[in-house]
Structure 1
Amino acid sequence: MRAEASRLLPAALSLLLFLPFCFGIRTFRYELPSSTVFTRFSEAPEYRNGAECSSSSTGDTATSCDPSLVHIAMTLDSEYVRGSMAAIHSVLKHASCPENVFFHFIAAEFDQATPRELSKLVRSTFPSLNFKVYIFREDTVINLISSSIRLALENPLNYARNYLGDILDSCVDRVIYLDSDVVVVDDIHKLWNIKLSGSRVIGAPEYCHANFTKYFTEKFWSDPVLSRIFASRTPCYFNTGVMVMDLARWRIGNYKKKIESWMELQKRTRIYDLGSLPPFLLVFAGNVEPIDHQWNQHGLGGDNVKDSCRTLHPGPVSLLHWSGKGKPWVRLDAKKPCLLDHLWKPYDLYRAQDSASPAPSSYSSTLISYLSY
């Protein structure tokens, strides 16, 4: 059972050395400058391990090489930091062994908030969290990015997941990648324990009813050589915002280079219109470990331009994903929330001056019955 301690553990200072392209922080609680909006984040409750949780770490600080850890990788930037804080909170709240979860945050080199400021925010919000923050050098990928149908899709940080095998410590051979606009309402250890069969490198919920052809241009499908890439497999769409990744197989297979090769081709001849998703589809679609759809109830962001809201897919829910243009914190602040945005609100740690946004009285019985904890 997960024990929640009311007393904060003394914070320890531990400055660690990492590879040249990244830095990590596992340190004492910082005081943020009063001028920054980050001070509006409340400290999260302390979520502690129960007696049944194993750990080979000693003391209060876990290293990323501890084999008992669940590794989660997320990007961290000023635009989506509110979503990231809610996502972290949701993972810890529902984890059976929250102290065995280790977060790897990838921060942009030239973000409005520096990686060090973002690190301070995480530490002040989650004082005992095991985590590292890595700097993602934008010049790693900037020359490979082609124009997309939406400017937001051209953000270099969207491509950081391609480089997790290089960025994370070599002892980390498995990781769960999560987007910043998710909340987890189930034990993350269940997702972690999913087996990747055969030689499969990633696992994700697949959506084989989706029109797969729309993710590539007519030029791609009319080219007999290019379109033959799927000849030996049956490709299905999958969302790269929730993936279980075998980094050992990733490194051995040099999948970073395989993805980059498709991006290089895209620069020469346009074969897709979206951003970072199509290269993943080209490399992995048809060879993905299928994970139950409850682990990515995606598309909840809908389309703000059309003022549309989405509903849950039928079945149990373990993870809610506000992929799409609309984000729950934006709609809640504007007092124009979708019904499902109220399921995100309990994990929000942001303290706005006027953040009260009561949910409709009917939402609880209508929606919570879908959720399977």
Structure 2
Amino acid sequence: MLGFGLNPVHLAVLAFILFSPVCLGIRSFPGRDVAGGDYGYEGFFRFAEAPDYRNGEECPAKGHKGYVSSCDPSLVHVAMTLDSEYLRGSIAAVHSILRHSSCPENVFFHFIAAEFDPASPRVLTQLVRSTFPSLNFKVYIFREDTVINLISSSIRSALENPLNYARNYLGDILDPCVERVIYIDSDLVVVDDIRKLWNITLTESRVIGAPEYCHAVFEKYFTDEFWSDPDLPRVFDSRKPCYFNTGVMVMDLVRWREGNYRRKIENWMELQRRRRIYELGSLPPFLLVFAGNVEAIDHRWNQHGLGGDNVKGSCRPLHPGPVSLLHWSGKGKPWSRLDARKPCPVDHLWEPYDLYKPHRNHRLNHQQMLLSASSSTLVGYSNYFI
């Protein structure tokens, strides 16, 4: 069933995911379910507790036993957003990284949660902790009014979510001692050791690294209003711009902060509010600032577009070549299609990392959950205000 519609190459990828020795560390399988919380909708999030992934002897020693500081130099830093709508995808992404990491205890997650998420950042923190009891992570509250007045309408309403723009503020949000981070979207899974991506060198003072796609028609990401202007296209005069997907980026936060790149992106967003120079949400400002000056990372680290186009969410196959990261960018999300019993063939590659357990007759009073979350000690819970 899992291989339905997949060619031999894709079956090999699935076999690698399911049956390969995915981690050099030590794992145990508790085998019990952990209840999540009612997050304000009709649904009830309930996740199985993930296996306890542990380091092998070859891993670098952490600076502290027990509590792990985000300033520990042995850590691999991963940043992603955390919200009730995409929580199932976020949990699967974290699970995939831990499962394939050679040193899972040395991965530190930075989660950015919206201030007014229906589940509240405290409940989301509780859910992550109950699903991954030994995970090293910190949750930051992102105030939506930081960016709400800069966001313009897009071709799809989901692209207007303020959390889509949180990546612009990582240099401000994360602790100053965090000098490098891998930013990932919540609709992907990693099927390789994340340390390989972490160790990529950003040459010639480049600020970000990402897979580039120079065969894409770059002009389509901007409107005729942009290209017909006598001055605006000149931003690309000194570089050869290529499309890259901002859902997977290695970011040098020292260079980011020094270059005030947050402000450079905001300047383009302010112009967009006045003149409508693009249609596609948070991506074009990144292209305007960085396209043509990106460290080109192997395409295996972002097999993107698996969610289909941004309107219909049609099925798409894997791209040719090796795979280290599968990304369901686009409208169609694998959990939604699987639940609807209308999955695309590639959605079965996401399924092994899904820890969601549908509620049967189990219900938890919302207010009891909120009280429990607010009264418990939540390690790594921070506020972020501009």
- Report the TM-score when normalising by structure 2: 0.83
Q: What is the alpha-carbon distance in structure 2 between the residues aligned to residue 273 and residue 34 of structure 1? A: 35
Q: Which amino acid aligns with 1:220?
A: F
Aligned to 1:171: 177
1:352 Cα deviation after fit: 1.6
**Pair 1:38–1:124, CA change in 2 (3 A):** farther
Indicate whether 1:259 and 2:256 are aligned: no
**Pair 1:213–1:33, CA change in 2 (3 A):** closer
Q: What is the alpha-carbon distance in structure 1 between the residues aligned to residue 220 and residue 229 of structure 2? A: 15
Q: 1:224 aligns with which of 225, 230, 246?
A: 230
Q: 1:104 aligns with which of 99, 102, 110?
A: 110
Q: What is the alpha-carbon distance in structure 2 between the residues aligned to residue 305 and residue 263 of structure 1? A: 23
Q: Which amino acid aligns with 1:2?
A: G
**Preserved contact between residue 38 and residue 121 of structure 1 (Cα < 8 Å):** no
Indicate whether 1:130 and 2:136 are aligned: yes
Q: What is the alpha-carbon distance in structure 1 between the residues aligned to residue 205 and residue 341 of structure 2? A: 48
**Preserved contact between residue 307 and residue 313 of structure 2 (Cα < 8 Å):** no
Q: 1:4 aligns with which of 3, 23, 27?
A: 27
**Pair 1:235–1:254, CA change in 2 (3 A):** same
What CA deviation, in whole Å up to 9, does each residue of 1:4-38 have, x standing for no partner?
Answer: 14579xxxxxxxxxxxxxxxxxxxxx975579855
Aligned to 1:248: 254
1:176-195 mapped onto 2 (5 Å cutoff): 176-195=182-201
Q: Which deviates more from structure 2 when the two are superposed, residues 301-310 or residues 329-338?
A: 301-310
What CA deviation, in whole Å up to 9, does each residue of 1:328-356 have, x standing for no partner?
Answer: 000000000000100000000001258xx
Aligned to 1:327: 333
Name stretches of at least 5 consecutive residues in structure 1 with no aligned partner: 9-29, 355-373
Aligned to 1:283: 289
Q: What is the alpha-carbon distance in structure 1 between the residues aligned to residue 307 and residue 183 of structure 2? A: 19
- Greater relative contact order structure (CA < 8 Å, 6+ sep): 2
Q: Which runs of 4+ in 1 moved over 6 A?
A: none
Q: What is the alpha-carbon distance in structure 2 between the residues aligned to residue 241 and residue 35 of structure 1? A: 25
Aligned to 1:45: 51
1:307 Cα deviation after fit: 6.4
Q: What is the alpha-carbon distance in structure 2 between the residues aligned to residue 299 and residue 48 of structure 1? A: 32
Q: Which amino acid aligns with 2:244?
A: F
1:223-372 mapped onto 2 (5 Å cutoff): 223-303=229-309, 306=312, 308-352=314-358
Q: 1:58 aligns with which of 53, 64, 83?
A: 64
Aligned to 1:72: 78
What CA deviation, in whole Å up to 9, does each residue of 1:245-285 have, x standing for no partner?
Answer: 00000000000000000011111111111100000000000
Q: Secondary structure at the match of 2:78?
A: strand
What CA deviation, in whole Å up to 9, does each residue of 1:153-202 have, x standing for no partner?
Answer: 11111000000000000000000000000000000000000000011000
Indicate whether 1:84 and 2:90 are aligned: yes
Name stretches of at least 5 consecutive residues in structure 2 with no aligned partner: 1-23, 361-386
Identity, in percent, stands at: 76
Aligned to 1:159: 165
Q: What is the alpha-carbon distance in structure 2 between the residues aligned to residue 175 and residue 317 of structure 1? A: 21
**Preserved contact between residue 156 and residue 311 of structure 2 (Cα < 8 Å):** no
**Pair 1:33–1:277, CA change in 2 (3 A):** closer
What CA deviation, in whole Å up to 9, does each residue of 1:307-327 have, x standing for no partner?
Answer: 621111110000000001000
1:237 Cα deviation after fit: 0.2
Q: Secondary structure at the match of 1:336?
A: coil
**Pair 1:349–1:170, CA change in 2 (3 A):** same
Aligned to 2:126: 120
Q: Which amino acid aligns with 1:290?
A: A
What CA deviation, in whole Å up to 9, does each residue of 1:280-312 have, x standing for no partner?
Answer: 000000000000000000000014864621111
1:152 Cα deviation after fit: 1.0
Indicate whether 1:210 and 2:191 are aligned: no
What CA deviation, in whole Å up to 9, does each residue of 1:121-178 have, x standing for no partner?
Answer: 0000000000000000111101111111111111111000000000000000000000
Q: Secondary structure at the match of 2:209?
A: strand
Q: Which amino acid aligns with 1:141?
A: V
Q: Secondary structure at the match of 1:219?
A: helix
Q: What is the alpha-carbon distance in structure 2 between the residues aligned to residue 308 and residue 239 of structure 1? A: 19
Q: Secondary structure at the match of 1:47?
A: strand
Q: What is the alpha-carbon distance in structure 1 between the residues aligned to residue 216 and residue 295 of structure 2? A: 17
Q: Which amino acid aligns with 1:164?
A: L
